[in-house]
């Protein structure tokens, strides 16, 4: 008598392994999407706070520009950016709507129509950032 497995036994083990792997991969993809959206939202909040603090410290009007491909802080005069980073698209996150500009006064308040909602999405995971006209920002699920 030979030791070993029959073909039906091997097929059953492979089928069970494939089902378990399929369940694990879909869960993993959802977790990666949530982490990417959360990290991008945190990056945008940090950029907003950075622009506000830089305007206060430097005593000048600064503009934060956010679009899908880049985030930058520049003087209102339109010269070269003081600070920049890659936008949400670098993490595979979609930013709904057009590019947004937030202008900060030297007192840390926003100027003009600086209130907005930024929608971030990747897969089934979404996050909304609400920016008030007073310059505050909060995350909404």
Contact 84, 73 (CB under 8 A): yes
- Residue 50 φ then ψ, to 5°: -65, -45
Q: Is 124 a member of any domain?
A: yes
Least confident of 29-33, 60-64, 116-120: 29-33
User: Is pLDDT above 90 for 17?
Assistant: no
Burial of 95 (0-12, 13-18, 19+ CB in 10 A): buried
Q: Is 2 a member of any domain?
A: no
Q: Enter the tokens of residue 26.
A: 């879909």
Q: Is 116 a member of any domain?
A: yes
- Domain, as residue range, for 36: 7-140
CATH of the domain at 99: 3.55.40.10
Q: Where do the H-state alpha helices sit in the chain? A: 7-58
Least confident of 60-64, 70-74, 111-115, 132-136: 111-115
Question: Per-residue confidence at 59, pLDDT binned at 50, 70, 90?
Answer: very high
- Number of folded domains in the chain? 1
pLDDT of residue 85: 95
| Averaged pLDDT, 34-38 | 94
Contact 90, 39 (CB under 8 A): no
| Averaged pLDDT, 60-71 | 94
75-114 pLDDT, tens digit per residue, is 988 789 999 999 999 999 999 988 899 999 999 888 877 7
In the block, residue with structure tokens 């920016």: 131
Q: Is 43 a member of any domain?
A: yes
Q: Is 22 a member of any domain?
A: yes
Contact 36, 122 (CB under 8 A): yes
pTM above 0.75, yes or no: yes
pLDDT of residue 115: 77
Q: Is the dihedral of CA 109, 110, 112, 115 positive or negative?
A: negative
| Averaged pLDDT, 9-25 | 85
| Averaged pLDDT, 15-27 | 82
């Amino acid at each position: 008598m030979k030791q070993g497995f029959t073909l039906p036994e091997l097929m059953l083990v492979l089928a069970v392994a494939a089902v378990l792997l399929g369940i694990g991969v879909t869960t993993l993809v959802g977790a990666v999407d949530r982490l990417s959206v959360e990290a991008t939202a945190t990056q945008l909040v940090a950029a907003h706070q950075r622009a506000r603090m830089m305007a206060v410290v430097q005593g000048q009007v600064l503009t934060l520009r956010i679009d899908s491909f880049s985030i930058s802080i520049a003087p209102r005069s339109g010269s070269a950016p003081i600070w920049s980073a890659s936008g949400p698209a670098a993490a595979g996150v979609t930013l709904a709507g057009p590019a947004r500009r937030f202008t900060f006064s030297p007192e840390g308040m926003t100027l003009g129509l600086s209130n907005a909602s930024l929608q971030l999405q990747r897969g089934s995971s979404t996050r909304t950032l609400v920016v008030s006209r007073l310059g505050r920002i909060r995350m909404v699920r």
